[in-house]
Structure 1
Amino acid sequence: MKNLFFFIFLSFSYLATAQTGFVSGIITNQNKEPLAGATITFGNKGTVSSSDGTYTIEIVAYEKTVVKFSHIGYGSIIKTFKGYKNKTIKYSPTLEEQSQEIEEITIKSYEAAQQGVLKLKAKKFKRVPGANAGIENLLMTQPGVNNSNELSTQYSVRGGSFDENLVYVNGIEVYRPFLIRSGQQEGLSFLNSDMTENINFSAGGFESKYGDRLSSVLNIHYKKPTKELSTVNLNLLGASYTYENLFLNKKLSTLIGARYRNNQLLVNSKDTETNFKPVFVDLQTYLSYKINHKSSLDFLGNIAINNYNFTPISRVTKFGGLFEPRELVIAYDGNEQDDFETYFGALSYKYNFSKNTNINLTASLFNTQEQEYYDIYGAYRISEIDPVSGEELFTTGVGSQLDHARNDLDILIQNIKVTVQHTINEHKLEAGFKVQQENIRDRINQWTTIDDNGITLRNPNENIENNQPNTPFTAPITPFYSVKAQNNADIFRFSGYAQWNKKWWIGNHILWHHAGIRTQLWYLKDNFSGTESNLKQTISPRFRLSLKPDWNNIDMVFRLSAGYYHQPPSYKELRNPQGSLEFNVDAQESIHYVFSNEYSFSKWKRPFKMTSEVYFKQLNNINAYSLDNVRIRYDANNNTKGYAAGVDLKLSGEFVPGKESWISLGFLKTEENTNNRGYIARPTDQRFKFAMLFQDYVPSNPNFKAYLNLVLNSSLPGGSPINASAEPNSQVDRYDFQTRLRPYRRADIGVAYIIVDENKSYQSGFLKHFKELDLGLELFNIFDINNTTTNTWIYDVDSKSYNGVPNVLTGRILNFKVGMEF
């Protein structure tokens, strides 16, 4: 019996000692110099850092351990860790002289890795340069995310269109204007980076709780203020102001942001001379009121006004390359006046029934009022030029074009959604239901007339015989391109989901799984005729397995995701090229297969991570589209199939101590097949991508910081004329326009000098009022590369063919900026 008790005692002693994890890192000061003899205490235990600032402590696994880091002459930092058995958490604190920072966080190891979600802290990247600096600017450097237009915040993910991406703010889906056709009209993204705390992004294989789109999910979390703070950013492209504070005995947190943007500096660097007077402003607020310890009420609101006044004067564009150099010269008359106004409000109520169960009820309202009015006349000349001197040799074509539009759009989207979450041990159950109504009032009146060498051109898709002079030609005069329609419709949607997440232990290995299903029912009603479509339904099962092997000294996570994703048609997808509604458009389908691996390791005593993903998407019932700058025109049918396949690689970590940077590589091929005519490249078929985001500072003076944002994208398809079709009998056939644009190459660099921050404060004088103050210079497109986005198509009567003239993007631009917090 004594031997039995002794054996049991030894067994429990072994288990007790085995259930431990580790925390290690390097303790430094604000100059990134290692601190020897720093004290690390937890519970009734403690140790000190070695001569090179390194330390290692052993903590109890699966329990919270509060650790204090301190040093004589420096402040202290308190952190809370939760580790895993036999695993090491890397943490390298920076202690500040004569100051104290107390912050408590819980580290949930491998949470992001097992979900396959990119997680970023917005504050760490707020100074990264870019023509459209902000959250989307960071996304453009991620593998699988492509955008070859620095004027636009829209992006394509793994071969999908701009309309295939979901965007959430604090769990609330947000929308964007519909009629915008060029990047210079966009102005401000809905997402305010100054208000953002966390960025979560999934490029495919996402969970069932996210809505019905084919490509990606961007889920943004706005800050909940803890103290009064004002943030001001000023630069030559605009300004922003953000205010945050607590009221009503700290029950009401208030976050308000106002922004102004003017793209005039960017547009004036293009090859078109203009009088450009844009006004892009928005006001946004996020309020959170804690009713009691069990319930809270949140409000998210946004008002955005984009006034776009554009008067082109002239344009000179060289194209054709080295062997057939040509030049397009256009003299303009007329102007464009566009107004895009959006209003958004969402109210969310959260109630915690218990520690493990909560319910969330959200109601939101979105309204966009858009007006697109223009009359622009252009007289053009195309000439062959000398490849050496660039001088004009002779004229190959002259003509003129008149573009006219009177387009009005008013869309109201209102919905209500309820979700329930319940946790039992390692089981997490979640379900939700949403009802949505979309009311659309649309008037389209748009046409283009073209005169080439004195001949007025008819629409080339018209099959009209002209047997002059033997038979008089009596057909009416029609424009080269014309759309005239009026729609008043409602779309009703009912959607729901259920999912189950669970963490399993297989020996010392950890296995997570996600199993879920989504469904949506919808129908369309034409309010003019009273016609209703059939009730349509989608069912979307989704599944993911994540494995964390218990391998000594190798920290890896493997993921396998598969799912059936649907995209029920929005209003844009229901409207055919003639402007009328199609009632029989079904949901587009995509089957995702994603296999990925994350390998975390240390190099030079700093953390790094290598992420690799292989994916394949089978596309069915595709609603094919053509892309003109950022405007998408759908065929409004489901007669196309396709696929997207590729590999994404990313190496991230502290290449410079304390600063996260990364290098991304992407390889993609996406094609489509319409009416079984054969596979051709989709408009987003960007085969190769290389991107780098690098942050650095001067070691001898860390207040001098530098940032590099570099993107290299291979060429995109150059698009097709506005009246091109994928139908086999069309005179202008999309299958005939498969040439590609030039590769997109862009590098933006920025430098900043930090006058005041958390490591450098002042107790007297003017600077004592600031918590942060920095000055910066940015140089956009430092190599002054003439990147292009799509083509302007000019029809030549003599050859009966189109000339694709590339639309050149922005050149080299210098921007000055000031950032401050007080």
Structure 2
Amino acid sequence: MSAIKFFSVYVLFLLSLNLSAQTARIKGVILDKNSEPVENVNVSYLNMATQSNKNGFYDLKVPANQKITLVFTHVSLKKISVSFVLSANENKEFNPVMSDQQEQMGEVIVSSNNKKVVTGVTTIEPEMMRKIPGANAGIENILKTLPGVNSNNELSTQYAVRGGNYDENLVYVNEIEVYRPFLIRSGQQEGLSFTNTDLVQNVDFSAGGFQAKFGDKLSSVLDITYRKPTNFGAGIEASFLGGSLYVDAVSKDKKWSAVTGARYRNNSLLVKSQETQTNFTPSFADIQTNINYTASPKWQWSFLGNISQNKYQYRPLTRQTRFGTIDNPMLLTVFYEGQEKDKYDTYFGALKTTFNATDNFTLKFIGSIFHTLEQEYFDIFAQYRIGEVDSSIGSQNFGDVAYTSGIGSQLNHARNDLDALIVNTEIKGFHDWKESQLEWGIKYTRESIRDRIIEWEVIDSAGFSVNPPILNLPKNDQPYNPYVGPLLPYQNVRATNFNSINRFSGYFQWSLKSTVGSTEVSYNAGIRAHNWEVQGETLQGKSQTTFSPRAQFAVKPNWEKDMVFRISGGLYHQPPFYRELRNAEAVVQPDTKAQQSVHFVVGNDYSFKMWTRPFKLVSEIYYKSLTDVNTYTIDNVRIRYAANNNAKAYAQGLDVRLNGEFVPGTESWISFGYLKTEENSNEKGYVSRPTDQRLKFGLLFQDYMPNIPSLKLYLNLVYNTGLPGGSPSYADSYLYQNRLNDYRRVDVGFFKVLIDSKMGKRKSDWLNNFKELAVGLEIFNLFNNQNAITNTWVRDVYSKNQYAIPNYMTTRVFNVKLTAKL
């Protein structure tokens, strides 16, 4: 089917759907000044009304897209009147506190959902992030259930979006760009995500076609806002994998507020479930704070700080991996000696100030410093044997190795050190001009990198050393003839790089929301510019500049049905960061160009009612055309770039997500994604990119027992078709287009809520000391599926074959968790 036919069918499908009337929903819990639930409160708008139950809970359906005034009345408490403007099918939670002293009048609350709909942004509830189970629970755990977002490593917080790699995603916290470590190579070494979910207030995610105000990356934007507490609070979480603690604090005059969180994690429970038996004592810890100060109604200040320390003591012992086919089963057995000692320490601080000059003009200044000290030290000696397994049913040796087809050993050595300092200063402006909004920003970044890489690998197979095939050395045909040439490492990377990069970037964008007839129309257009220059002790790169125009357009027809149609796209650039400048030999290429991508995204949001509950179907088709592509290979989650811009590529696909209240009062979703991404290097033809994950299915589900609502279930299911399996060192990747097996994983959690503020307090019960208290059991990889992240390539010296042996991830693991809030 051609692209035009496909698009036509897609639009006709959307237009043919049955839709419902435009309404919204307001719900919440009504409390008194002592935080006790208030029963029998009348909640009304015109002729619509309801009453709060004994737990103070109320739920009312109201008209959408118009100002409504909700009135709360009680026989012994003063009236509350609050005005809202809600979008169609919006679920608004409002928890009023009623007083016996004075009546309360609320300002008009305008929903921000419309803005997020027209820009194609997905909003994720913070509470969902904290509850959904996962081996690496948090924001990234939820992202991996969305269409277009892929990962086949549950021990990693990294994710690929619509054919991009891990380095192509922007992450902001309070409008401040945050960074991830440079030398990371293995999922089990990755530690904690920067984002502490205990501190989060709002999460927005865009998978492509994003606005000019966001930075210079090719794939996605994760925009996170930390909360500003209004009263004291605290919470704690503990499990077999670690724990966390947070505290909310507010000064008496309400000018100062702070939210601070500390986390500790140990992945031993997960790593020890892998096929490689190890002595592994990892420890990941960090402390993070967000401090806010309101100097005056016009001037606010905030500070975001983070210190993290990640240590790894890794001593592999043995490994057994079965592979091959039913007719020809094989077994790899490895015995290890040696150890790995890695450490990553990061320090981050950012100061932000906001000045509201007038009602229509706001200025923001942001300054941040990121410092990372990283080391990877290891010496690991491995002796391996590949054997053919006796598959004869009834044989006394069934399942044992019947014939050894290859033996060998290898020694891996590394002494890698990196010291990176990144300093940012930025100023932003926001203007309300007539009916439009104007935004602009200017940013300077200084990156200073001190990097030493020493890595080598020696391979010995059947008694002789294997030399790298790229060198013109004498033929090595031992044991038949003696070898007289030099003995060299099979791989040898040595480099010392002291580099600095100066960057100037800026943007300007214009937004307008208007009405054409009875149709709502939204426009956004902007442009980014980025200039950079790479300098070093022995090199000087040329100054390079890119310009990136971007635009979004959305239409919301005044139909009985609730639909929004979106088109977005533009020219996107990714100027190279340090790792993208470093080629396979670890030599910096200062004139590496920015990768360039043309995005085109067509989307639709369809809101409707099913079982009298709100649902939304979000679908997007997209196409990306990439030039000046910096090709790469992936070693677990470490990316090695070629740094030569010698390829072009494309990515195309379809993303669909249906979310809503499959169970009353809870949000769940089902997602489906189709992706095809290929690249063409040096005009050799198109082959799959390392992130070419064709099909994706995700399910995030919340449930509770109707008769025991305090007993809850959380389910996280992901199915991805297999990624390309890579190729051996020095091999032509065009000759190795095999794929890993499909990735299938189900994580489930069962929780008993002992107390919840919405349930009301009990009389004379020690549980009243808590606002929330829950205990639960989590089962990771419920069905014990064998999922592989990469292949290990092992050679058989006799047959000259290279076997692709999968590196399997974690098996079934049980975890107990306790959460509490004060």
Q: Give the TM-score taking structure 1 as reference length.
A: 0.90
Q: Deviations over 1:228-248 (max 9, x none)?
A: 111100011010001111126
* Cα gap change, 1:56 to 1:233, in 2 (>3 Å): closer
Q: Deviations over 1:522-575 (max 9, x none)?
A: 011112x2x3111001000001101101112x0000000111000001110111
* Cα gap change, 1:95 to 1:518, in 2 (>3 Å): closer
- Answer with 125-134 or 780-789: which moved more: 125-134
What residue is the counterpart of 2:451 in the other structure? 442
Candidates 536, 554, 563, aligned match of 1:556: 563
Work out whether residues 36 and 49 of structure 1, in 8 Å CA contact, stay in contact via their aligned partners in 2: no
Matches within 5 A, 1:114-513: 114-247=118-251, 249-387=253-391, 389-466=398-475, 475-513=485-523
Matches within 5 A, 1:60-99: 63=67, 65-69=68-72, 80-83=83-86
What residue is the counterpart of 2:603 in the other structure? 596
Which ranges in structure 1 are unaligned for 5 or more consecutive residues?
1-20, 725-731
Shift in Å, 1:471? 12
* Cα gap change, 1:468 to 1:712, in 2 (>3 Å): closer
Q: Deviations over 1:337-388 (max 9, x none)?
A: 0010111111111101011111111111001110100000011000011345
Distance in 1 between residues matched to 2:227 and 2:161, nearest whole Å:
27
Work out whether residues 428 and 440 of structure 2, in 8 Å CA contact, stay in contact via their aligned partners in 1: yes
What residue is the counterpart of 1:665 in the other structure? 672
Instruction: Give the secondary structure class of the aligned counterpart of 1:759.
Output: helix
What residue is the counterpart of 1:48 in the other structure? 49
Instruction: Give the secondary structure class of the aligned counterpart of 1:341.
Output: strand
What residue is the counterpart of 1:710 in the other structure? 717
What residue is the counterpart of 2:777 in the other structure? 777
Shift in Å, 1:28? 9.4
Work out whether residues 691 and 710 of structure 1, in 8 Å CA contact, stay in contact via their aligned partners in 2: yes
Candidates 614, 619, 622, aligned match of 1:612: 619
Instruction: Say if 2:767 is the partner of 1:767.
Output: yes
Shift in Å, 1:22? 7.4
What residue is the counterpart of 2:735 in the other structure? 736
What residue is the counterpart of 1:14 in the other structure? none
Instruction: Give the secondary structure class of the aligned counterpart of 2:734.
Output: helix
* Cα gap change, 1:784 to 1:503, in 2 (>3 Å): same
Q: Deviations over 1:255-286 (max 9, x none)?
A: 11100000000000000100001111001111
What residue is the counterpart of 1:11 in the other structure? none
What residue is the counterpart of 2:789 in the other structure? 789
Distance in 2 between residues matched to 1:56 and 1:193, nearest whole Å:
31
Instruction: Give the secondary structure class of the aligned counterpart of 1:111.
Output: helix
Letter in 2 for 1:508: S
What residue is the counterpart of 1:3 in the other structure? none
Shift in Å, 1:793? 1.2
Work out whether residues 575 and 634 of structure 1, in 8 Å CA contact, stay in contact via their aligned partners in 2: yes
Shift in Å, 1:323? 2.7
Percent identity over the alignment is 46
Letter in 2 for 1:775: V
Distance in 1 between residues matched to 2:40 and 2:739, nearest whole Å:
61
Shift in Å, 1:107? 2.1
Matches within 5 A, 1:532-551: 532-551=540-559
Distance in 2 between residues matched to 1:774 and 1:99, nearest whole Å:
33
Distance in 2 between residues matched to 1:488 and 1:633, nearest whole Å:
19
* Cα gap change, 1:762 to 1:668, in 2 (>3 Å): same
* Cα gap change, 1:794 to 1:95, in 2 (>3 Å): same
* Cα gap change, 1:97 to 1:255, in 2 (>3 Å): closer
Shift in Å, 1:624? 0.2
Work out whether residues 41 and 52 of structure 2, in 8 Å CA contact, stay in contact via their aligned partners in 1: no
Shift in Å, 1:321? 2.8
Letter in 2 for 1:746: R
* Cα gap change, 1:72 to 1:796, in 2 (>3 Å): farther
Work out whether residues 42 and 51 of structure 2, in 8 Å CA contact, stay in contact via their aligned partners in 1: no
Matches within 5 A, 1:24-35: 25=25
Distance in 1 between residues matched to 2:327 and 2:573, nearest whole Å:
46
Instruction: Give the secondary structure class of the aligned counterpart of 1:110.
Output: helix
Q: Deviations over 1:44-78 (max 9, x none)?
A: x554349999866568x665x43135678999986
- Answer with 131-140 or 792-801: which moved more: 792-801
Distance in 1 between residues matched to 2:617 and 2:571, nearest whole Å:
28
Q: Deviations over 1:184-205 (max 9, x none)?
A: 0011100101111111000000
Matched residues, number: 781
Work out whether residues 306 and 340 of structure 1, in 8 Å CA contact, stay in contact via their aligned partners in 2: yes
Q: Give the TM-score taking structure 2 as reference length.
A: 0.90
Work out whether residues 770 and 820 of structure 1, in 8 Å CA contact, stay in contact via their aligned partners in 2: yes
Candidates 524, 535, 548, aligned match of 1:525: 535
Candidates 556, 572, 577, aligned match of 1:565: 572
Shift in Å, 1:83? 4.7
Shift in Å, 1:460? 1.6
Which ranges in structure 2 are unaligned for 5 or more consecutive residues?
1-20, 31-37
- Answer with 637-646 or 97-106: which moved more: 97-106
Distance in 1 between residues matched to 2:167 and 2:81, nearest whole Å:
44
Work out whether residues 510 and 547 of structure 1, in 8 Å CA contact, stay in contact via their aligned partners in 2: yes
* Cα gap change, 1:456 to 1:74, in 2 (>3 Å): farther
Work out whether residues 77 and 98 of structure 2, in 8 Å CA contact, stay in contact via their aligned partners in 1: yes
Work out whether residues 210 and 569 of structure 2, in 8 Å CA contact, stay in contact via their aligned partners in 1: no
Shift in Å, 1:322? 1.8
* Cα gap change, 1:382 to 1:69, in 2 (>3 Å): farther
Shift in Å, 1:738? 1.0
Q: Deviations over 1:159-216 (max 9, x none)?
A: 1000000000010000011111011001110010111111100000000000000000
Work out whether residues 217 and 574 of structure 2, in 8 Å CA contact, stay in contact via their aligned partners in 1: yes
Work out whether residues 24 and 54 of structure 1, in 8 Å CA contact, stay in contact via their aligned partners in 2: no
Distance in 2 between residues matched to 1:524 and 1:812, nearest whole Å:
47
Instruction: Say if 2:687 is the partner of 1:688.
Output: no
Instruction: Give the secondary structure class of the aligned counterpart of 1:188.
Output: coil
Shift in Å, 1:603? 1.3
Work out whether residues 27 and 38 of structure 1, in 8 Å CA contact, stay in contact via their aligned partners in 2: no
